Amino acid sequence: MSVQQRKITTDAGIGRKPKRSALQKKLTQVPISVRKNYGLLKNPEFWQILPLLMSNKWRARVGEKDQPRIFVATHHKAMTTYFKAVLKLLAFGLDARFEELSKLAPQPETRVFLSAHSRTPWSEVGPYRGIHIMRDPRDIIVSSYHYHLWTNELWAHIPDENGQTYQEKLQAVDKTEGLFMTIRHFIFFNREILETWDLDDPNILEVSYDDLMGDQRDAVYSEMFNFLGLQGQEHELGVRLMRLFEAGKRSKVSATKTNEGAHIRSSRSGQWKDELEPEHVAYIEQELGHVLEKFGYARTPVTGSSDAI
């Protein structure tokens, strides 16, 4: 059976989501929001950027029909919350409507949007300029495993036909099996979109997670907003927002500190080498080796087979 035909399923329940009131949703999100943005109001750059933000909002050209939509497409545990914060304020400064999307196309009046799982139907968007953020799937898997152990996201609390949620299953097994569960979950939800992703789309700039975390990230910021067509004050606003929301400036938790209750656990690339066992690596190579190669990530030579996983 070929890689494309091999059926992998998730251990997550895919039935009806549990009901939560608006207040309950807020209460579950407040602790996460505090952790993500702790210290932001104490950052002088936050106050220094406000005049630029307001000035640009008043200067923004509203209602021009020929302006392409601009977006950032991410994947789970690949800077989604970071770009949501940046794009929301950027949209405010452009006097434009912002949307966070999963599978749907943006509303007609939306100019700036976040494609949270890179599943947007691009043919329905119209003229666009966008950024696609890619991270090594092996690091995404490791980061997801630790995050899913405690997350309040609704999908992880949907019971399956036996009444057990994904998070309960994950907490009930050891790390070895938990990582296998996470690998299967990643394959189920991401393999097809990564296999079919168009790397040759001239209107989408491919940006590496590693480059955004590197010492030359300021140059990457500038390239990104140039590509999106922002110039002058708008370009400056975009770059400064990227600096403002960098993980090390806004999180209460060090980016290198392991903390199971922290949204930002570790930003280090290549952490999979320390956490994945040979059997995990072999399974990923078998099912996702072609995806790693497509996006420029080195494959790891492995022996044996993981057909039994």
Type of residue at 52 = L
pLDDT of 62 over the 90 cut: no
Check residue 6 and give its pLDDT: 73
pLDDT band of 69, cuts 50, 70, 90: very high
The vertex-269 CA angle with 199 and 28, nearest 5°, equals: 90
Assess if residue 13 is contained within a domain.
Answer: no
Average confidence (pLDDT) over 26-40: 57
Please indicate whether residue 5 or residue 57 has the higher confidence score (pLDDT): 57
Q: How many domains does the chain have?
A: 1
pLDDT of 256 over the 80 cut: no
Assess if residue 163 is contained within a domain.
Answer: yes
Average confidence (pLDDT) over 197-221: 96
Check residue 302 and give its pLDDT: 58
* CA 255 – CA 149 distance, rounded (Å): 18
The 10s digit of each residue's pLDDT in 275-307 is 999 999 999 999 999 999 999 999 886 554 455
Check residue 249 and give its pLDDT: 55
Assess if residue 309 is contained within a domain.
Answer: no
pLDDT band of 2, cuts 50, 70, 90: very low
pLDDT of 36 over the 80 cut: no
Assess if residue 302 is contained within a domain.
Answer: no
Q: Which residues on adjacent β-strands are paired with residue 132?
A: 73, 206
Assess if residue 235 is contained within a domain.
Answer: yes
Average confidence (pLDDT) over 257-265: 46
* Paired tokens of 123: 């043919």
Lowest-confidence segment of 9-13, 109-113, 141-145, 177-181 by average pLDDT: 9-13
- What's the mean pLDDT when you consider all of the chain? 85
Check residue 289 and give its pLDDT: 96
Average confidence (pLDDT) over 46-74: 81
pLDDT of 215 over the 50 cut: yes
pLDDT of 66 over the 80 cut: no
pLDDT band of 308, cuts 50, 70, 90: very low
Assess if residue 244 is contained within a domain.
Answer: yes
Assess if residue 307 is contained within a domain.
Answer: no
Q: What is the DSSP string of 233-300?
A: HHHHHHHHHHHHT-HHHH-SS-TTS--TT-S-----TTTHHHH--HHHHHHHHHHHHHHHHHTTPPP-
pLDDT band of 255, cuts 50, 70, 90: very low
pLDDT of 263 over the 50 cut: no
Instruction: Give buried/exposed letters for 49-78 (b at 16+ CB in 10 A, else e).
Output: beebbeebbeebeeeeeeeebbbbbbbbbb
Check residue 60 and give its pLDDT: 74
Check residue 267 and give its pLDDT: 67
The 10s digit of each residue's pLDDT in 109-160 is 999 999 999 999 999 999 999 999 999 999 999 999 999 999 988 889 999 9
pLDDT of 264 over the 90 cut: no
Please indicate whether residue 209 or residue 6 has the higher confidence score (pLDDT): 209
Report the candidate in 279, 245, 268 with the shortest Cα–Cα distance to residue 84: 245
Task: Tell me how far CA of residue 148 lies from CA of 9, 60, 77, 165, 302, in angstroms.
Answer: 17, 40, 11, 11, 27
pLDDT band of 34, cuts 50, 70, 90: low
Assess if residue 254 is contained within a domain.
Answer: yes
Check residue 14 and give its pLDDT: 75
| CATH code assigned at 57 | 3.40.50
Q: Residue 111 sits in which domain range?
A: 22-294
